[in-house]
Chain A
Amino acid sequence: MSHFILIVLAAVITFASRLSFMLRPLPDARVKESRFLEVFPTALFVALAVNGFVAPEGTLDFGPALAAGFGGVAGAFLFKRSILGVVGVGLVGYWIARLIWGL
């Protein structure tokens, strides 16, 4: 399969998943569904973050990336949950850990 067709297929799969419920909204979501949709963003972002912190190369690795995670949590508390605070303190934690690890 050519790279061009592969990219078009990947685009179709991705856009179809994005468009799914945008065109057909859930009719009067029940309590359970509402609660699920309320907590899903939190679950998604925490899962994305933790996956990057504990397995930056794909396998479990408690290294500088995990230190960035702890730095990010500290940044959230120190800077009232600002994204820049989380990223800034997290990166500081990451680079300090790299120095300590000798990387």
Chain B
Amino acid sequence: MPPSFRSLSSFRRGLRDTFPLVPPIAVFGAVFGALAVQAGLSPWLTMLSSLIVLSGAAQVAMAGLLASGAAPVLLATTGLALRHLPMSAALSGLIGDAPVYRRVQLAWVLVDETFGLTVNASRDPSVDLVSFKSAADLVLYVTWLTSTAVGVFLGADVDTSRLGIEVIFPLVFLGLAAPLLRNRRQWLTAGLAVMAAVSAVLVLPSEWRVTAAAIAAAVIGSRVK
């Protein structure tokens, strides 16, 4: 297959594979926009955070912690950002010798959802992962910004407790994990992650739970023969 055709076909596949994630991302973005405005963040700063932070979990934590001052916000952001380290190492290995500007571009939208889609797509050797992830990132970024703007516009009219938003993203993450469970090591790691995540709820502050549970499960799961 010629490289340009492979890139185009992978870009299209990235658009297609990301489409099912648009509704949950749009709902979450709108809820964040509304929550941030209700928490006292101005509309333009809310949009700025979606534009340059681009991390649903960090932004929601920020909106919730604004009243507590800068330190808790930055601590929560750091705790949530730590999971990007192994993600960037894994993605870097997948995309091979892509040029620096492409690496910077792909890192800008290195979020859980498009990372999961890219890892799943990497099982097909015919996919150009740089084009695939660029398409996935584009869909996610546009959806996130648009839906944040909708949430900002609706502001206090959005009753977030009625939407069932708290389960949509966990279900998306479960849906991203499911195709990865192809061998004993992956199943074992998933089991360890379940135990670690439940234990983390009991002993750790909320911003460290996911990072600590994921790293602990991956360390143990990768060492078992």
Contact = CB atoms under 8 A, between A and B. Distances in A.
B154 interface: no
Most B Cβ at <10 Å: residue of A58, A65, A87: A87
B155 interface: no
Given A13-B74, A18-B81, A50-B198, 5 more contacts: A3-B41, A21-B88, A47-B209, A51-B201, A69-B167
A83 B190 contact: no
Contact of B85 (A15, A17, A76): A17
Chain A contact residues: helix, strand, loop or mixed: helix
A44 interface: yes
A44 B190 contact: no
Chain B contact residues: helix, strand, loop or mixed: helix
B201 A53 contact: no
Nearest to B118: A41
A10 B87 CA distance: 18
Contacts of B83: 44
Interface of A: 1, 3-4, 6-11, 13-23, 25-26, 29, 32, 35-60, 64-65, 68-69, 72-73, 76, 81-87, 90-91, 94-95, 98
B100 interface: yes
B142 interface: no
B32 to A, nearest CB: 13
B92 A50 contact: no
A45 B174 contact: yes
Interface string B102-114: 0110111010100
A87 B86 contact: no
Contacts of B171: 49, 68-69, 72, 86-87, 90-91
B89 interface: yes
Interface in B148-197: 164, 166-181, 185-186, 189-190, 192-194, 196-197
